[in-house]
């Protein structure tokens, strides 16, 4: 931790500690404040749950609890930005192109990411599906495509462009787009189409590429 970070830590902690009067914070609230401030320093930011647990000498389940609760208490949660970060991470390692039993697997170590993605899926009438490892979410390629398009500028226009560009079957693209229905109707039509793996990878790659450029 740099000297500047130490000074900023001390100032911000005192602000939090004294805000409600000396001694008003519970032990849990002090832990949340300290954890939140530590995570903003160079020594602790970008560390995995495993690394944080090792550094702080606490179980990983407690790290996850502290990450979630401190973020909800001290940060402004921006779902669009969080979902965008997930998409960018998928783009960085081409993870979207690897299907396991027809699903894309997404690593969600950050409990805030997990919470926001689960809520997004729930808002669309879907349910989160996990592997034995509860930090690995499995999602159908078309559901992932929907998530990406939903978070793009001019999402409906981008949807039309991507379908026309990446579906080699012209008849299929016309069935999806014909009559200019709402994007929700288009997505329903897309889900009904039987698309091969190469087409799905191409569609996702195009969507992710367009998202990153935006």
pLDDT in tens, 194-205: 888 888 888 888
Q: Which residues of 39-52 are buried (b: 16+ CB within 10 A; e: fewer)?
A: beeeebeebebeeb
Do 170 and 93 belong to one domain? Answer: yes
Do 183 and 113 belong to one domain? Answer: yes
Give the model's pLDDT for residue 97: 66
DSSP string, 72-137: HHHS---HHHHHHHHHHHHHHHTGGG-EETTEEEEE--SHHHHHHHHHHHHHTT---EE-SSTTEE
Do 149 and 84 belong to one domain? Answer: yes
Do 89 and 28 belong to one domain? Answer: no
Do 7 and 108 belong to one domain? Answer: no
The residue from 74, 107, 127 where one domain ends is 74
10-19, 150-159, 197-206: range with highest mean pLDDT: 10-19
Give the model's pLDDT for residue 89: 86
pLDDT in tens, 59-100: 999 999 999 999 999 999 999 899 989 888 888 877 776 777
CB neighbourhood size of 155 (10 A): 18
Q: Enter the pTM of the model.
A: 0.83
The domain total for the chain is 2
Do 145 and 168 belong to one domain? Answer: yes
Give me the domain span that covers residue 165.
78-214
């Amino acid at each position: 931790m740099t000297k500047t970070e130490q000074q900023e830590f001390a100032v911000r902690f005192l602000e939090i500690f004294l805000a409600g009067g000396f001694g008003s914070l519970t032990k849990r609230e002090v832990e949340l404040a300290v954890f939140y401030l530590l995570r903003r320093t160079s020594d602790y930011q970008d560390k995995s749950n495993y690394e944080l647990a090792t550094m702080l000498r606490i179980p990983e389940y407690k790290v996850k609890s502290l990450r979630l609760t401190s973020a909800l208490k001290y940060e402004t949660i921006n779902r669009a930005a969080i979902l965008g970060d997930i998409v960018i991470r998928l783009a960085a390692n081409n993870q979207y192109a690897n299907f396991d039993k027809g699903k894309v697997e997404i690593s969600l170590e950050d409990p805030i990411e997990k919470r926001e993605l689960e809520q997004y899926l729930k808002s669309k009438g879907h349910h989160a599906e996990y592997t034995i490892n509860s930090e690995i979410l499995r999602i159908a390629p078309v559901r992932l495509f929907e998530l990406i398009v939903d978070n793009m500028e001019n999402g409906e226009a981008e949807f039309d462009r991507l379908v026309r560009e990446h579906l080699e079957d012209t008849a299929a693209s016309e069935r999806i787009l014909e009559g200019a229905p709402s994007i929700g109707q288009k997505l329903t039509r897309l889900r009904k189409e039987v698309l091969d793996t190469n087409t799905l990878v191409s569609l996702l790659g195009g969507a992710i590429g367009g998202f990153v450029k935006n």
